[in-house]
């Protein structure tokens, strides 16, 4: 594999003065069923829980956080609320508005609800409705430590095909982001490769979030790495990086991956993130302290904010600092997107 366009730590196309360049995210839209339980699960009987139905999906979450960052959500402290209020003058990135678009596949059961939620978050949805599949659903079991276990029904999420792609989707786009979930099914993997090839033909940088260590293991590490070859930015978490490299030390993982990608941002949960480029460590960026309620989507908050910051022209380190703030803040309330009350509960088939 080779790193992507731009030397060093990924120089984003279109960064500079004025509005940030457009961001196209291709990924998954999911109906999240979040069950927070304060006691261990009791087999064969009831366990008390707080249950919420929320819009989610790694790709959709990244898009929402990128849009949120560009309207002032990337540098706030939240004053402990996690709801995007207040300002943090010590944040590392001066963010500008980002035109964020999301291409995804959903079922007819909740397409309208998801489209409304994306629009409220400032994202321009490009939703393909598959009449033969339901929208993806994830049951997120969140324990007393805020750690989550996911039960996933991919539904329509992995049913994008190359026929769903058009180079016109890249008009006004300065960066393409691909959710790793796309690479776990033949049709959506083929779609992702077509999109990546088109982006590179237009000198548009590409990022990939590996998304799921469990799915990578089932697919096969070699096939996954072959499929994402040519991406410029990789944003794995610790479990994904360990699987992709076979190494045990985070710094070694980041360094190894940085030989294949222009910039690697390895997220470490409460410990922040490691940045590496071209075989060199750039920084270890700490995460602000937080009292976690739900860690679902913290990595998506990091990635979306990082992309918005880089598109605004911020350095990798400043971008990661702002992204760590957003990720930390996202754990202080239930749900995987910037906080906002849901307008209505979606229909459930």
Q: Encode pLDDT of 183-194 as tens digits.
A: 999 999 999 999
- What integer pLDDT is reported at residue 11 of this predicted model? 64
Superfamily grouping for domain 22-39+49-330: Ribokinase (3.40.1190.20)
Q: Average model confidence (pLDDT) for the chain?
A: 88
Taking only the tens place, the pLDDT of each residue in 222-259 is 999 999 999 999 999 999 999 999 999 999 999 999 99
Q: Is pLDDT above 70 for 300? A: yes
- Mean pLDDT (whole number) for 153-173: 96
Taking only the tens place, the pLDDT of each residue in 5-22 is 333 467 666 555 455 679
Taking only the tens place, the pLDDT of each residue in 313-337 is 999 999 999 999 999 999 998 888 9
Q: Is pLDDT above 60 for 70? A: yes
Q: Is pLDDT above 50 for 77? A: no
Q: Is pLDDT above 50 for 342? A: yes
- Mean pLDDT (whole number) for 117-127: 96
pLDDT-based confidence at 341, cuts 50/70/90? low
- Which residues does 35 contact at the CB level (< 8 Å), separation at least 6? 49, 50, 51, 139, 140, 141, 142
């Amino acid at each position: 594999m080779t790193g992507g366009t731009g030397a060093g730590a990924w120089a984003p196309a279109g960064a500079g003065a004025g509005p940030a360049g457009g961001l196209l995210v291709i990924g998954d839209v999911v109906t999240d069923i979040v069950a927070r339980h304060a006691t261990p699960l009791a087999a064969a009987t009831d366990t008390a829980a707080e249950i919420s139905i929320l819009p989610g999906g790694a790709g959709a979450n990244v898009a929402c956080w990128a849009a949120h960052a560009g309207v002032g959500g990337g540098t706030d402290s939240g004053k402990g609320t996690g709801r995007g209020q207040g300002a943090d003058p010590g944040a590392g990135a001066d963010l500008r508005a980002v035109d964020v678009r999301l291409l995804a596949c959903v079922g007819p059961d909740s397409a309208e609800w998801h489209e409304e939620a994306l629009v409220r978050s400032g994202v321009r949805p490009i939703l393909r409705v598959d009449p033969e599949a339901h929208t993806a659903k994830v049951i997120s079991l969140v324990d007393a430590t805020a750690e989550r276990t996911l039960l996933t029904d991919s539904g329509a999420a992995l049913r994008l095909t190359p026929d769903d792609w058009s180079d016109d989707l890249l008009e006004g786009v300065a960066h393409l982001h691909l959710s790793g979930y796309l690479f776990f099914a033949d049709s959506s993997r083929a779609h992702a490769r077509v999109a990546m090839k088109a982006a590179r033909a237009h000198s548009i940088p590409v990022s990939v979030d590996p998304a799921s260590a469990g799915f990578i293991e089932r697919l096969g590490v070699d096939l996954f790495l072959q499929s994402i070859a040519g991406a410029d930015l990789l944003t794995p978490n610790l479990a994904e990086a360990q699987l992709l490299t076979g190494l045990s030390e985070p710094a070694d993982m980041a360094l190894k991956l940085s030989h294949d990608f222009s910039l690697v941002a390895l997220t470490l949960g409460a410990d922040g993130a490691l940045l590496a480029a071209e075989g060199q460590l750039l920084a270890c960026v700490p995460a602000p302290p937080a009292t976690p309620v739900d860690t679902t989507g913290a990595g998506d908050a990091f990635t979306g904010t990082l992309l918005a910051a880089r598109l605004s022209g911020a350095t990798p380190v400043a971008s990661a600092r702002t992204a760590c703030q957003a990720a930390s803040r996202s754990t202080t309330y239930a749900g995987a997107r910037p906080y906002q009350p849901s307008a209505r509960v979606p229909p459930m088939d």
